[in-house]
Structure 1
């Protein structure tokens, strides 16, 4: 990128010694802030559509008085419990004020697959409380569609770097080190499709990220029938409130992509970065997740499985009574072994 000197019209360059923009023709110096460009990270966010006539009236919204979660179900659902905290939820009323999703990734794995994954996960741990092995408890696992905002954009960007190359050599009298400095410029375009941002405050971000990725190629146009037998979390983070996260992901990814094109230098220091969006838009989608949330001795434990790929994650508590029982048993065994070894050593030196 070239800047013109306000004094003489010459092309300005970055001066590494003064850390300012300098004109090599008239020696005028300017602060970098005078020539900074702002990223153009503006999105046209118009996700979702209105529900068809009759669709809203056939769905109910249940509210959890414990965690504040709102769950969307078919009107045939009599009662249920919150998939996030396990407490009973109460009927709030008919669905209203919620956009219709653009896309949905349907559940590929059923409840039996989720229960089997949870059993395998629990059985692999030796000191898990009995509650977590109880079949009735495992039956409480629920299929929930998690709301996501998917951001798409064409990105044009330019980056400036300061590169350094170091060359060393010696002769019979001296050792030499040569430092060469370079101004490096990169410009190009990147296309981003379906950058996901979780639209649920209740769903822990680290848990959701742990069961990603989802394969959007299997997404289909949303139809209400996909909710049959499942719940859908009513988003509490709208698309506009998700823009900062999307911007950060776009900017970071773009900078990483451009930086990977710069090689052959001893060191590379970024000098400036400008990222601009064109045709930035957002879509609203539902992703399938199996959830089990339970409480043990005042602590909440959540298990989640990707309803498309089967990826499973979840922490488990430790039964302290079983732990200390096993500890005392192992301590007794080691004590016996120690006594036997001591007797053998005494015998050897008699």
Structure 2
């Protein structure tokens, strides 16, 4: 049986969770607060208790064993509060008991080589995520009315998403074709002179902690859309921060994430150097060299609120940065409303064009 970790309130025995508002561990039953640092010793004590605990082994002939394909990547945990069994896949690091809803942490998934270096704690709670979702719906003229009136949020989850953080120095030597225009006129003609130049830019730029999503469950474009995170608020990883939230360990390795990190760094380098070519009427990149050196990697957990909702038999996923509140997600389009607005705008444009024609006749 796999091991789990539950933080219990010393005052009332209830399960304590990390409270994003007070930035403390808090018991929802007696409202007692605990500083996260004080739980380090408590964490060790809980682990010792788990190692010393004994459980009854029952002989059971019912059912058939799982085959190797079914059992691969699945673990069974026993809830310390109610005794219920929790089935989780190979990448689940924190979840809730489906029977008593107590928060639990799968300690084996976060030990050894899988242990994160840093975690950015949640600063915004579930109420803030729901409020941001409703705000996201406002002002969307092409959003189906029934989606706003009858829509319900199927699920809101606070998830610590695994990220690989890449840092490196970049040596770049870039070339650009540029032009400058000069115009003048006389009584008969307008003249335009185009001058062509080759602009060169060379230098070194440094990147720190470029995040790449390490979970295959999370769409990369969705995770990049809720950036940036403020890493100055990151702390050394402690399991206490996961209590009350869901968490995944990475299933996309550091090596598998390198290509995406390189693409992000190269794209940012090109944009940074291109922005220095100013004072021209046109700028066209003509290649060059970009060399990445002195690379380093860290592993961290970042806070994300995930919202799922269903409309017209289609599932829509939204994400909110659990630290900054940045909210993203695609919405459905009412086709009837689209064509109605298209016709209205076309009529208005036609009327204005007709009026301008008569004005200048």
TM-score range, shorter chain: 0.5 to 0.7
Contact 2:121 2:234 (C-alpha < 8 Å) held by counterparts:
yes
Residue in structure 2 matched with residue 286 of structure 1 by the alignment: 301
Q: Does 1:262 align with 2:284?
A: no
Task: State the TM-score, normalized to the length of structure 2.
Answer: 0.57
- Work out whether residues 128 and 318 of structure 1, in 8 Å CA contact, stay in contact via their aligned partners in 2: no
Once the two structures are TM-superposed, the CA of residue 147 in structure 1 deviates from its matched residue by 1.0
Q: Aligned match of 1:110 in 116, 125, 130?
A: 125
Deviation for aligned residue 1:181: 4.0
From 224, 229, 233, the equivalent of 1:209 is: 224
**Is the partner of 1:249 in helix, strand or coil?**
helix
Q: CA deviation at 1:71?
A: 1.7
Displacement after TM superposition at 1:99 (Å): 1.4
Q: In structure 2, what is the Cα distance between the partners aligned to 1:236 and 1:305? A: 22
| Equivalent residue, structure 1, for 2:253 | 238
Matches of 1:130 and 1:251, distance apart in 2: 45
- Structure 2: which 5+ runs fail to align? 1-43, 52-74, 78-85, 100-104, 341-361
Aligned residue number for residue 55 of structure 2? none
Checking the alignment, whether the CA contact within 8 Å between 1:158 and 1:186 is kept in structure 2 is: yes
CA contact (8 A) 1:70 1:233 kept: yes
Distance across 2 between alignment mates of 1:231 and 1:207: 18
Change (3 A) 1:263 1:307: closer
Structure-1 separation of matches of 2:192 and 2:200: 26
Which one has the largest radius of gyration?
1
Alignment of 1:1-350 (within 5 A): 62-63=87-88, 70-73=91-94, 77-79=96-98, 94-95=108-109, 99-118=114-133, 126-128=145-147, 132-133=151-152, 140-167=155-182, 180-296=195-311, 298-315=313-330
SS in 1 for 2:114: coil
Q: Secondary structure at 1:128's aligned position in 2? A: helix
* CA 1:248–1:175: 2 relative to 1, 3 Å: same
* Structure 2 match to 1:346: none
Relative distance call for 1:311 and 1:160 in structure 2 (3 A) is: closer
* 5+ residue gaps, structure 1: 1-51, 81-90, 328-350
CA distance in 1, matches of 2:192, 2:202: 32
Distance in 2 (CA, whole Å) between partners of 1:252 and 1:305 is 25
181 and 301 in structure 1: CA distance in 2 versus 1, 3 angstrom threshold: closer
RMSD: 4.2
